[in-house]
Amino acid sequence: MATWGHLGFQDSASPLMEQLIFFHDHTMVVLILITTFVGYMMAAMFPNAFVNRFLLENQTIEVIWTILPAIILIFIALPSLRLLYLLDEVNNPSITLKTIGHQWYWSYEYSDFLQVEFDSYMTPSNELDLSGFRLLDVDNRTVLPMNTQVRMLVTAADVIHSWTVPALGVKADAIPGRLNQISFMVNRPGLFFGQCSEICGANHSFMPIVVESVSVSAFLNWISSSSDL
């Protein structure tokens, strides 16, 4: 998770987030090159005292500064479109999880496993362990198996919410009466924190998300124990 003074992205925990970081780096290189070139040209022209009184037009330079930006935009747009379609792709998911946004908590349904359902509330500060994270820990974590394709169905029961986990590169609006679908795969174990990213009322800042990535065997043990409750 991000800590104070952290200016970059969180460490990626899914292939989608890796691709998002790669695209960000690619775009930043292009932007830095453009900014450097334009800055150099401006700095070189400021001290220039020569003026061509008879210059009316220059078709060559106009063609160049029209074609060159178009080519640069193509180099940015093609990876962007590829990534956009990858984010929307759902490839034969092994597990489906439904999450419902409420004011102000999340509820989860593992409908593939004997209707395992639970609500996830933020842990109050006075009940938090010393190792916990204030305003980020929850009483019931969302346990998911790693290296497994997960389909997430997102909706809401009252107002618009947004289910977001930055380390996984996923963000989906939870809209009442609408079922949004996202897909992701967690490629390492750990705890990944997120928060509602759509202003949904007075306690908008107090409905965090915690995804716990475990091995497949540990996940099946957790599901079996949860089904017995």
CA–CA distance from 204 to each of 42, 102, 189 (Å)?
46, 10, 28
Q: Which residues pair with 208 in a beta bridge?
A: 195
Strand partners, 127: none
Identify the pLDDT of residue 30: 93
pLDDT classification of 229: cutoffs 50, 70, 90: low
Mean pLDDT lowest among 75-84, 149-158, 161-170, 219-228: 219-228
Provide φ and ψ at 181, rounded to 5°: -130, 130
Query: Rounded to whole angstroms, how far apart are CA atoms 229 and 210?
Result: 21
153: three-class secondary structure by DSSP: strand
Kind and range of the H or E run holding 76: helix 59-88
Mean pLDDT across the chain? 88
pLDDT tens column, 98-107: 999 998 899 9
> Span 37-65, mean pLDDT?
86
Q: Is 88:201 a contact under the CB 8 Å cutoff?
A: no
Which domains, from first to last, does the chain contain? 15-88 (1.10.287.90), 95-227 (2.60.40.420)
Q: Which residues of 137-155 are buried (b: 16+ CB within 10 A; e: fewer)?
A: bbebbbbbbbebebbbbbb
Residue with tokens 């930006």: 69
pLDDT band at 85 (very low <50, low <70, confident <90, very high): confident
Please tell me the distance from the alpha carbon of residue 79 to that of residue 26, in angstroms, as a whole number. 9
Residue 45 in this model has a pLDDT that exceeds 90: no
* Region 213-218 average pLDDT: 91
CA 222 to chain centre: 26
First to last CA, the chain: 31
pLDDT greater than 60 at residue 114: yes
Higher pLDDT, 79 or 11: 79
Average pLDDT over residues 53-71: 87
Q: Which of 42-46, 52-56, 136-140, 221-225 has the lowest mean pLDDT?
A: 52-56
Q: Is the pLDDT of residue 228 over 60?
A: no
How high is the pLDDT of residue 71? 93
CA–CA gap between residue 209 and residue 166 (Å, rounded)? 11
**Looking at residue 50, what is its pLDDT?**
81
Decide if pLDDT at 21 tops 70: yes
Q: Are 123 and 52 in contact (CB under 8 A)?
A: no
8 Å CB contact between 190 and 11: no
Neighbours of 44 (CB within 10 A): 9
The pLDDT of residue 227: 66
